[in-house]
């Protein structure tokens, strides 16, 4: 089976992890801060906080921005559930903004319309989580301007997008957002096995993120109430979690980071091959890059025509049974049973739902060979012609 995505671990990566196993620190040694510094340097963000998953980073980001009961968080329905769940962890409400039919990202025009009606009923969101779907940046300038106008904070869920850019700046620079979150899960662009990071340019937010990552405990006398009892002393000044990354994971991340550009370049080569080979099939392909370079985490194609739901299933099963490991990204979050129980209904986000009925994600990862790509293309052509 040709998988839809696959991590790549080099012998250099393996050596880096083994070196940690032989060192004095398995967890809180020098490599976590070094990994944070490197990601901050590459993205231009001022502060970085490495954690054990992007889900943890999203939760901390919402807490740092003081999301709580009575508040609302909005995000895209075409994302992994974690982009929305972070609001529920904080006791806040979730709502969604429909996607753009070409970029498949949260649509700034739809956002504007929804903000206008929300203002009338006094239900403006406190946070909007934008998702750089498949590695393509959202229209951040437009969304940031709406944020200024309507007073919401912005979290970039860049789980797909490390290595991508927007208006000549690396995704993660936080130029148009409060916090950006990366994931280092193995299917993503680079991996630490499990892992994530939250980036920000705001020192106060950075301080809160660091506290939340580790139980709300500080050893910094400046942050304490009153005097320290002695050199052993620490204080818990907030309710945090254990969301820490280990040095083992950071070693892998640092080593993987060295190959980030090469990975993105390879993804762009493969994308160009697909774009050319699939151009004449009756498919909607990913739109060309605009305002920046996509990190190309995914290559979804959409089937054309009506009554497409059953047909998509046939094509999908045809590909799978021929050994092509296709996938579907994503089932709209509002249609998940948990969200249906919160009151969401089919038909509420029609562009997202139409996208979902048509979408098939083709294999795309740096180790995919041209020969495997030919197999994907010819198998897809055969499946479409049935
Ligand atoms: C993978 C993913 C996450 C969660 O990442 P983890 O590191 O697995 O917690 C969040 N949002 C999006 C869009 C993702 O694709």
The answer to whether 17 touches 248, Cβ cutoff 8 Å, is yes
All residues at 6 or more sequence positions from 329 whose CB lies less than 8 Å from its CB, including other chains? 78, 134, 298, 300, 359, 361
246 Cα to the center of ligand 1, angstroms = 19
pLDDT for 248 equals 97
Residue 296: per-residue pLDDT:
98
Atom of ligand 1 nearest to the CA of 55: 9
- Out of 51, 58, 77, 80, mutate this one to test ligand 1's pocket (max ligand atoms within 8 Å of CB): namely 80
- In whole angstroms, what is the distance from residue 364 CA to residue 347 CA? 31
Residue of the CA atom closest to atom 5 of ligand 1: 54
Q: Read off φ and ψ for residue 78, nearest 5 degrees.
A: -95, 85
Where do runs of H (alpha helix) occur along the chain?
Answer: 11-21, 31-43, 54-64, 82-89, 108-120, 140-150, 203-213, 247-257, 260-278, 308-321, 337-340, 350-358, 370-385
The CA 186 to ligand 1 mean position distance, Å, reads 11
Strand 283-284 and strand 299-303: the pairing is antiparallel
User: 37: CA distance to ligand 1 center in Å?
Assistant: 22
Which numbered atom of ligand 1 lies nearest the CA of 131? 13
Cis peptide before 330 (omega within 30 of 0): yes
Centroid of ligand 1 to alpha carbon of 195 (angstroms)? 10
Distance 372 CA to ligand 1 centre (A): 27
Cα 362 from Cα 304, distance rounded (Å): 16
| Report field, pTM of the whole predicted structure over 0.95 | yes
- Cα 80 to averaged position of ligand 1 atoms, centre (Å): 6
Q: What is the pLDDT of residues 101-160, one digit of tens each?
A: 999 999 999 999 999 999 999 999 999 999 999 999 999 999 999 999 999 999 999 999
Closest ligand 1 atom to residue 183 Cα is 7
Calpha distance 6→28 (Å, rounded): 29
Q: How far apart are the first and last CA of the chain?
A: 21
Question: Distance (Å, rounded) from C-alpha 100 to C-alpha 60?
Answer: 28
Using most ligand atoms within 8 A of CB, pick from 56, 155, 159, 331 the residue to mutate for ligand 1: 159
pLDDT tens digits for range 233-274 = 999 999 999 999 999 999 999 999 999 999 999 999 999 999
Q: Judge whether residue 307 has pLDDT over 80.
A: no
Distance (angstroms) between ligand 1 centre and the Cα of 120 equals 33
**Beta-carbon count within 10 A of 201 CB:** 18
- Phi, psi (degrees; rounded to nearest 5) at 149: -70, -40
Atom of ligand 1 lying closest to residue 194 CA: 7
Which of the pair, 305 or 25, is modelled with greater confidence? Answer: 25
Query: Average pLDDT over the chain, rounded to whole?
Result: 97
CB 252 within 8 A of CB 13: yes
Work out the average pLDDT over 44-64: 98
Q: Tell me: the pLDDT tens digits for 90-115?
A: 999 999 999 999 999 999 999 999 99
Report the atom number in ligand 1 closest to the C-alpha of 58: 10
CB of 379 within 8 A of CB of 324?
Answer: yes
Q: Reduced to 3 states, what is the DSSP secondary structure of residue 176?
A: coil
- Give ligand 1 pocket residues (Cβ under 6 A): 53-55, 79-80, 82-83, 131, 157, 159-160, 183, 185, 196
């Amino acid at each position: 089976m040709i998988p839809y995505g696959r991590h790549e671990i080099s012998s250099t990566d393996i050596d880096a992890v083994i070196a940690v196993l032989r060192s004095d620190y398995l967890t809180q040694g020098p490599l976590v801060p070094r990994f944070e510094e490197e990601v901050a340097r590459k993205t231009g963000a001022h502060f970085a906080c490495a954690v054990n998953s992007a889900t943890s980073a999203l939760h901390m980001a919402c807490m740092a921005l003081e999301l709580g009961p009575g508040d609302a968080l909005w995000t895209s329905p075409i994302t992994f559930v974690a982009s929305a769940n972070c609001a529920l962890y904080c006791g806040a409400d979730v709502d969604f903004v429909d996607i753009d039919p070409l970029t498949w990202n949260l649509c700034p025009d739809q956002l504007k319309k929804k903000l206008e009606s929300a203002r009338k009923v006094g239900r403006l969101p406190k946070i909007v989580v934008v998702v750089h779907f498949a590695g393509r940046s959202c229209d951040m300038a437009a969304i940031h301007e709406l944020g200024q106008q309507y007073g919401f904070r912005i979290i970039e869920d860049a789980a797909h997008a490390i290595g991508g850019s927007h208006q000549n700046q690396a995704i993660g620079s936080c130029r148009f957002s409060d916090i950006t979150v990366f994931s280092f899960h193995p299917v993503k662009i680079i991996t630490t096995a499990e892992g994530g990071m939250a980036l920000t340019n705001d020192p106060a937010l950075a301080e809160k993120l660091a506290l939340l990552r580790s139980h709300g405990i500080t050893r910094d006398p400046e942050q304490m109430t009153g005097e320290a009892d002695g050199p052993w002393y620490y204080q818990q000044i907030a309710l945090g979690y254990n969301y820490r990354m280990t040095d083992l994971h950071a070693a892998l991340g640092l080593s993987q980071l060295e190959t980030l550009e090469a990975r993105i370049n390879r993804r762009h080569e493969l994308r160009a091959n697909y774009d050319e080979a699939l151009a004449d099939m009756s498919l909607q392909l990913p739109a060309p890059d605009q305002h920046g370079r996509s990190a190309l985490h995914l290559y979804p194609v959409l089937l054309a025509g009506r009554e497409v739901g059953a047909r998509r299933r046939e094509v999908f099963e045809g590909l799978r049974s021929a050994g092509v490991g296709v996938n579907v990204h994503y089932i709209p979050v509002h249609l998940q049973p948990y969200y249906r129980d919160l009151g969401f209904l089919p038909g509420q986000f029609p562009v997202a739902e139409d996208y979902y009925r048509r979408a098939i994600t083709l294999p795309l990862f740096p180790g995919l060979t041209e020969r495997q790509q030919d197999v994907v293309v010819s198998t897809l052509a055969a499946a479409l012609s049935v």
